[in-house]
């Protein structure tokens, strides 16, 4: 079993007012698995360099683009 690697990096000082962090998640894809994402009020830009994955919600299960911009409507807290 391969492990999943997660790393966070701080942006350059000039970008600190605009970017909280960069993060990288690397690991094997789990076929048929789903990951729930809870809103925290932040915006994320995702660059996906692996195999095609699907973005699923109550109505759709479509292939995701390799670059996605996501914003949570409001925070849970």
Q: Which among 31, 34, 73 is positioned nearest to 56, based on CA atoms?
A: 34
For residue range 34-46, list pLDDT tens digits in order: 667 677 777 787 7
For residue range 44-74, list pLDDT tens digits in order: 877 777 777 666 666 666 666 667 666 665 6
pTM exceeding 0.75:
no
Q: Write the DSSP symbol of residue 15.
A: G
Confidence at residue 40, expressed as pLDDT on a 0 to 100 scale = 75
Interatomic CA distance for residues 34 and 72, integer angstroms: 18
Asked if the model's pLDDT at residue 30 lies above 70, the reply is no
């Amino acid at each position: 079993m391969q492990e999943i690697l997660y790393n966070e990096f701080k942006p350059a000082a000039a970008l600190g007012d605009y970017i909280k962090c960069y993060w990288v998640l690397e690991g094997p894809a789990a076929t048929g698995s789903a990951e729930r994402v809870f809103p925290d009020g932040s915006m994320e830009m995702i660059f996906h360099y692996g195999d095609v994955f699907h973005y699923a919600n109550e109505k759709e299960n479509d292939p995701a683009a390799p670059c996605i911009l996501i914003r949570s409507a409001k925070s849970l807290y």
